[in-house]
């Protein structure tokens, strides 16, 4: 956890508790057939994770004067997609990890076929929520924008594409520009969508505010991944809840590998400053979003 002020830590805890409940209510109950699949979905989604993407969306909603109830289903959709990506990423065909969020990965706790289906079903549930959840603003155009933003962020020109490039790049050295391009797809696209889906929940948002949020989200997405790579180098497995030092072990081209620790920290600072500057048109209403950015870039896990 970061050195965030106490009041903000309480806010993060409250958002996390809200998301735990919101996700639990939207996932199929564990006793429902097919029981093993539903148990594995709940095992993977509930009881862990920082909930970064839902929290970004909730803070964006606050900056725009939306009630949390109005965006809760969109926040759930983001987390469901994120967990799908983690479950698939951990499979032997990809990163082959045994530990996630401090517990055995889904394919270890269950089996590989179940883990594949968990990812598939979580992705479907995410889009079902955007299409049908009664809590979202009652405007078809809002739902269509949300579906489009999420689909674009996670497809072959977003997260899945970034993952494909990442897998192809193992053991090869990339330039810093190539690494940043890869990160902006693999991690940045969903982080950007977390902010822009909040913006999309306002039926006719002022274009200036939309641009301000887009200018915030892009550098935060990249800085978040650089911070993740710094933690992989500097932290330990117990704190991270996943195996530390894995990037170096796999010979991945990362910011710390190319720019060193101090150079990477400097890059995070520069990106963070650019992100915060972009929020200026939103004034004090965006203070929670500023606090989320500070927390993300000073986190310890
Ligand atoms: C399988 C299509 C597909 C994509 C996988 C997200 C991803 C792409 C892979 C996960 C591995 C990884 C380290 C990705 C970088 C993004 C990242 C930092 C993920 C971890 O996100 P956190 O820190 O995790 O938000 P928690 O557990 O807190 O939710």
pLDDT digits (tens, 9 = 90+) for 53-107: 999 999 999 999 999 999 999 999 999 999 999 999 999 999 999 999 999 999 9
Q: Is the CB of 160 under 6 A from ligand 1?
A: yes
Judge whether residue 110 has pLDDT over 70: yes
Neighbour-count burial for 115-131, b at 16+ CB within 10 Å, e otherwise: bbbbbebbbebbbebbe
* Residue 291 Cβ < 6 Å to ligand 1: no
Is the whole-model pTM more than 0.85? yes
How many angstroms is it from 70 CA to the middle of ligand 1? 26
Task: Write out pLDDT tens, residues 226-271.
Answer: 999 999 998 888 887 777 777 777 778 899 999 999 999 999 999 9
In angstroms, the CA 146 to CA 144 distance is 5
Cβ(88)–Cβ(113) below 8 Å: no
Give the CATH number of domain 6-298. 1.10.600.10
Among 123, 94, 96, 101, which Cα is nearest to 43's?
101
The packing angle between helices 52-63 and 207-234, to 10°, is 150
Q: Say what the pLDDT of residue 4 is.
A: 67
Residue in this structure with the two tokens 């990249």, named with its chain if needed: 222
**What mean pLDDT value characterizes the chain?**
94
Q: What is the pLDDT of residue 2?
A: 45
Instruction: Give residue 3's pLDDT.
Output: 54
pLDDT digits (tens, 9 = 90+) for 7-48: 899 999 999 999 999 999 999 999 999 999 999 999 999 999
Domain extents for the chain? 6-298
Q: Is the pLDDT of residue 187 over 80?
A: yes
Contact 23, 76 (CB under 8 A): yes
Q: Which of 75, 56, 203, 82 is nearest to 135 (CA)?
A: 75
Which residue out of 94, 123, 187, 230 has the highest number of ligand 1 atoms within 8 Å of its CB and is therefore the one to mutate?
A: 187
The residue whose two tokens read 């963070």 is 272
Mean pLDDT of 194-220: 97
> Which band of pLDDT confidence, cut at 50, 70 and 90, is reported for residue 1?
very low
Contact 215, 192 (CB under 8 A): no
186 in contact with ligand 1, CB cutoff 6 A: yes
Q: Which atom of ligand 1 is nearest to the CA of 48?
A: 27
Q: Ligand 1 mean position to 168 CA, how many Å?
A: 17
């Amino acid at each position: 956890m970061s050195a965030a002020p106490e009041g903000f830590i309480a806010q993060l805890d409250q958002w996390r508790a809200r998301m735990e409940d919101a996700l639990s209510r939207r996932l199929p109950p564990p006793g429902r057939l097919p029981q093993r699949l539903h148990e594995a979905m709940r095992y993977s989604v509930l009881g862990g994770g920082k909930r970064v993407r839902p929290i970004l969306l909730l803070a964006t909603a606050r900056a725009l004067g939306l009630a949390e109830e109005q965006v809760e289903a969109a926040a759930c959709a983001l987390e469901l997609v994120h967990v799908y990506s983690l479950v698939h990423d951990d499979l032997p065909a990809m990163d082959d990890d045994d530990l996630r969020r401090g517990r055995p990965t889904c394919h270890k706790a269950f089996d590989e076929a179940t883990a594949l289906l968990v990812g598939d079903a979580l992705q479907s549930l995410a889009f079902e929520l955007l299409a049908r959840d009664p809590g979202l603003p009652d405007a078809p155009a809002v739902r269509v924008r949300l579906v489009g933003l999420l689909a674009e962020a996670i497809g072959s020109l977003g997260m899945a594409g970034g993952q494909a490039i990442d897998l192809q790049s193992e053991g090869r050295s990339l330039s810093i520009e190539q690494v940043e391009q890869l990160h902006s797809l693999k991690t940045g696209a969903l982080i950007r969508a977390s902010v822009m889906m909040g913006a999309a929940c306002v039926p006719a948002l002022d274009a200036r505010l939309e641009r301000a949020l887009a200018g915030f989200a892009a550098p935060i997405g990249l800085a978040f991944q650089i911070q993740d790579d710094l933690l992989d180098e500097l932290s330990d497995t117990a704190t991270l809840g996943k195996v530390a030092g894995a990037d170096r072990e796999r010979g991945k081209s990362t910011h710390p590998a190319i720019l060193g620790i101090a150079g990477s920290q400097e890059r995070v600072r520069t990106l963070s400053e650019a992100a915060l500057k972009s929020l200026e048109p939103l004034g004090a209403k965006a203070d929670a979003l500023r606090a989320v950015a500070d927390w993300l870039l000073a986190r310890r896990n």
